[in-house]
A = this chain, B = another copy of it.
Amino acid sequence: MSMYGHNGGMTTQPALSPTEADVCCPSLTVSPLSLDDAQDFARILKSLADPTRLRLVSLIAGHEQQEACVCDLTEPVGLGQPTVSHHLKILVDAGVLRREKRGVWSYYSLEAATLNRLSEFLSPG
């Protein structure tokens, strides 16, 4: 979006078609929202619409090297490993967290692009 090359003469800057613009950066309050985008963002929002899952994301973001395994998270949220794993799976499926298996543990880290996209989508600016 930010890189337009120099083009002399009568040519105009290439503009995104509505469909491309939609794909690029849908906004809740600027462009009319397509059903596809509404379903897509509702799914991400739903994954975050739970106090425990918000706290898990916050704990992972604040953890050493911004990643954590289930074993790091059970005690701070006061829940057992199966419950925490269930919440983490919902966040991974929605693209909010990334899961990487190393040795016997899976490590969870933030998918910053998803949060950025959601934050920009919601901004009324």
List chain A positions with a Cβ less than 8 A from chain B.
28-33, 35, 38-39, 41-42, 45-46, 48-55, 57-59, 61-62, 110, 112, 115-116, 118-120, 122-125
Contact = CB atoms under 8 A, between A and B. Distances in A.
Contacts of A41: 54
Given A45-B45, A115-B123, A51 B35 contact: yes
Nearest to A38: B51
25 contacts: A28-B57, A28-B61, A29-B58, A29-B61, A29-B110, A32-B58, A32-B59, A33-B58, A35-B55, A38-B51, A38-B52, A38-B54, A38-B58, A41-B54, A45-B45, A45-B54, A46-B46, A46-B49, A110-B124, A115-B123, A116-B125, A118-B122, A119-B119, A119-B123, A122-B122
A42 B62 contact: no
Contact of A49 (B45, B115, B123): B45
- Counting chain B CB atoms within 10 Å of each CB, which of A50, A58, A118 scores highest? A58
A33 B81 CA distance: 20
A109 to B, nearest CB: 11
B58 A51 contact: no
